[in-house]
Structure 1
Amino acid sequence: MPPPNLPPLPPPPPFFWGETPEDEFYTSQNIHHSTSYFQTPNGQIFTQSWRPSSPTQPIKATVFMTHGYGSDSSWCFQKICIAYAQWGYAVFAADLLGHGRSDGLHGYIGDMDKAAATSLSYFVTVRKSDEFTKLPAFLFGESMGGAITMLMYLQSDKDVWSGLIFSSPLFVIPEAMVPSKLHLTMYGLLFGLADTWAAMPENRMVAKAIKDFEKLKIIAVNPKRYTGKPRVGTMREVVRVTNYLQNNFQKVTAPFFVAHGTADGLACHSGSEMLYEKAATPAEDKTLKLYEGMYHSLIQGEPDESVALVLADMNAWIDEKAQKFGPQSNGNKM
């Protein structure tokens, strides 16, 4: 939610970049973009892909991205997807259940393991397709999507993923954001009837999420953003899953890159530090970047110079790992 002092905003433009038609915009970015729906046992999910538009440019690897709470893959989250595609990667994203254009009650994830498995079923289908099976493959998660991405990794067979990338992952909830045990217990006594209720108290912490005020105004008018109070079941799952992940970081053996701002008000950077310390990943294959004074939204919400710094660090890391884990093949040109 925007902070209380945000002034009335005009109607949103058709796209986060403004009025330019989609095809014209993506062409200007040297990107080929596509959308589709993917049917799963848990419902239909909306998916998108971004790739370099040049047919002669070989794809370095595939990257499968998951957005955060209340967001979707179609608004400012695309900035990350487009950047990776411009670096030479085939990028795929899916709206989580209950988010964007995917099935489910808006803003509700009553079972994060199921939500992770649902997106994972699409990601694995693409990852194992003839076109991409020989390429390195990376999972990317932002904010709550970072926690769900970690669940996907833990649900996956060994060696499916070449590496993991996290931007401000929600592994530890800030004290001011921790849902009341009293509320969770009280609603839990209603035998699940209250699970979907948008009834949890909300602490407006977006002032510590997005530093650039002009970018906040664009993010705030996302027409598919969930703006209601947190739903009981979603908050219950956030508490359960963050506790579960903290107790299972030692199972992580894949290479990973994690970026976190030290002034993040929505996800404690101590969670990223905990992952770095506990993961069984070899020391040379794990990277933690803490950005002094940066807020939660590192790529969509910081000033341009800070965004460029984060993206440059991500680019250097994934280029190194993509080269390490898989030779490019002319047969995989797009």
Structure 2
Amino acid sequence: MNLSLSFRSPEPSLCHRRYSCPIKYPQKQQVPNLLRPKLYPKIQFPIPKIQTQFRVTARKWSPMEGLSQEMNTIALQNLDHAPARRRVRSAFINVHKQLDHCLFKMDNAGIRTEEWYGRNSRGMEIFCKSWLPKPGDRIKAALCFCHGYGSTCTFFFEGIARRIAQSGYAVYAVDYPGFGLSEGLHGYISDFDELVDDVIEQFTNIKGRSEVRGLPFFIMGESMGGAVTLKIHLREPYKWDGVILVAPMCKIADDVMPPAIVLKLLALMSEVLPQAKLFPQKDISRLSYRDPRKRNTAGYNVISYKDQMRSRTAVELLKATSDIETQLNKVSSPLLILHGAADKVTDPLVSQLLYEKASSKDKSLKLYQDAYHCILQGEPDDTIFTVLNDIVTWLDSRCSPN
């Protein structure tokens, strides 16, 4: 049997054939075609009674309209290692400020931000960032954030964090090893539980910071970050004052899962070639961003992981969701679940099941009619602000002054 696999990651694929530019420029620049994607050589893997052929291709890339050839070339460079990702992010900071998206245009003057690198117990540099309320404003509580697969705690989350900080909360986030600005092979998760350990380590350090010592601590996770958040809560059930889950990855939706035979082959490949980009997946950006303009804006998150999922990463995510499914009844913290009712990436029915099975006495489930997976980034502005307001209202109701 011959399998020819060419695929994308299960989080939104952020590279499209054409962009309608969300940056407002006085004149539109003409951008020539740049580098064409290279094809890696075909690799033959002998498997008993099965002849399997994998064709692994580099990510497809079309120049982003409105950007110079120089900026497109910067965006196209190899991002396997953190120094390159950090250079690219620095080069695009001014570009991001001009993006036509509500999360980049909110007036949050006075919010204090800080960026730093902490080291985990394995000696890797982990990118951390904080957003604090305006000087003189009382800090009600702290919120720690876990980002989704392929993403980063910068870009879209900057606007989300600023909105929450404006309401009186100290917000903290980290990039996982191998993602965003942290060290590690881009998009590679060798062990999901080890990743959870890394996040716990950084959040434990954050809890000791002087500005939030002794305050309530909440944790929020989006998509794969929801799985990270649940794993953290199950490890530390009494160390968090509440859990917020946004379209959590408790189970990957059947619509985006590959066939069973492919999963078996990938389990084998994760042992033979763990870092190879072999996970077959549909381009699901249209299932993730309901608003086409916001879908185009997502392409400017240039340090997000956009290639095919690495084989070990895929197996680790499947193992993590399988483990979480068996422990839904152990979720005991005050719980807020927010999910798009039309999400076909992570299943809203599983969020409903989590809500029903969780042993939490204080739990809420909010489903947003017609909304897709990225309810905080890819919906019409009014939906995005509704979700943000729901988060702040929930926090406020649990942080009222005595």
Calculate the TM-score normalised by the size of structure 2.
0.74
How many angstroms does 1:183 deviate by? Answer: 3.1
- The equivalent of 2:173 in structure 1 is 93
Distance 1:102 1:306, change over 3 A: same
The 1-side partners of 2:266 and 2:364 are apart by: 40
Structure 1 unaligned residues grouped into runs of 5+: 20-24, 329-334
1:22-52 deviations in whole A, cap 9, x for unaligned?
xxx9995321111000101232210100011
How many angstroms does 1:5 deviate by? Answer: 5.7
The 1-side partners of 2:379 and 2:107 are apart by: 25
- The equivalent of 2:363 in structure 1 is 286
| Kept after mapping to 2: 8 A contact 1:184/1:232 | no
Name the SS of the counterpart of 1:77 in structure 2.
helix
The 1-side partners of 2:159 and 2:269 are apart by: 41
Name the SS of the counterpart of 1:71 in structure 2.
coil
Distance 1:234 1:180, change over 3 A: farther
Structure of higher CA gyration radius: 2
The 2-side partners of 1:6 and 1:143 are apart by: 26
How many angstroms does 1:53 deviate by? Answer: 2.2
User: Does structure 1 residue 128 correspond to structure 2 residue 208?
Assistant: yes
| Kept after mapping to 2: 8 A contact 1:49/1:92 | yes
1:90-128 deviations in whole A, cap 9, x for unaligned?
000000111001111101112111111101111111113
User: Does structure 1 residue 275 correspond to structure 2 residue 363?
Assistant: no
- Name segments (4+ residues, structure 1) moved above 6 Å: none
Distance 1:227 1:65, change over 3 A: same
The 2-side partners of 1:140 and 1:94 are apart by: 12
The 1-side partners of 2:301 and 2:270 are apart by: 34
- The equivalent of 2:5 in structure 1 is none
The residue type paired with residue 216 of structure 1 is R
How many angstroms does 1:186 deviate by? Answer: 2.5
How many angstroms does 1:61 deviate by? Answer: 0.2
Name the SS of the counterpart of 1:288 in structure 2.
strand
Structure 2 unaligned residues grouped into runs of 5+: 1-12, 20-61, 72-91, 100-104
- The equivalent of 1:317 in structure 2 is 394
The 1-side partners of 2:367 and 2:106 are apart by: 32
User: Does structure 1 residue 35 correspond to structure 2 residue 115?
Assistant: yes
- The equivalent of 2:339 in structure 1 is 260
Q: CA RMSD in A?
A: 2.1
| Kept after mapping to 1: 8 A contact 2:147/2:222 | yes
Structural mapping, 1:167-178, within 5 Å: 167-178=246-257
The 1-side partners of 2:168 and 2:389 are apart by: 14
The 1-side partners of 2:228 and 2:120 are apart by: 17
- The equivalent of 2:379 in structure 1 is 302
How many angstroms does 1:226 deviate by? Answer: 0.7
- The equivalent of 2:157 in structure 1 is 77
How many angstroms does 1:17 deviate by? Answer: 2.9
1:29-88 deviations in whole A, cap 9, x for unaligned?
32111100010123221010001122x111000000011011101111222211111111
How many angstroms does 1:179 deviate by? Answer: 4.0
The 1-side partners of 2:191 and 2:399 are apart by: 33
How many angstroms does 1:192 deviate by? Answer: 2.1
The residue type paired with residue 122 of structure 1 is Q
| Kept after mapping to 2: 8 A contact 1:188/1:194 | no
| Kept after mapping to 2: 8 A contact 1:63/1:91 | yes
The 1-side partners of 2:290 and 2:97 are apart by: 19
How many angstroms does 1:4 deviate by? Answer: 5.3
User: Does structure 1 residue 16 correspond to structure 2 residue 96?
Assistant: yes
Number of residue-to-residue matches in the alignment: 316
User: Does structure 1 residue 115 correspond to structure 2 residue 192?
Assistant: no
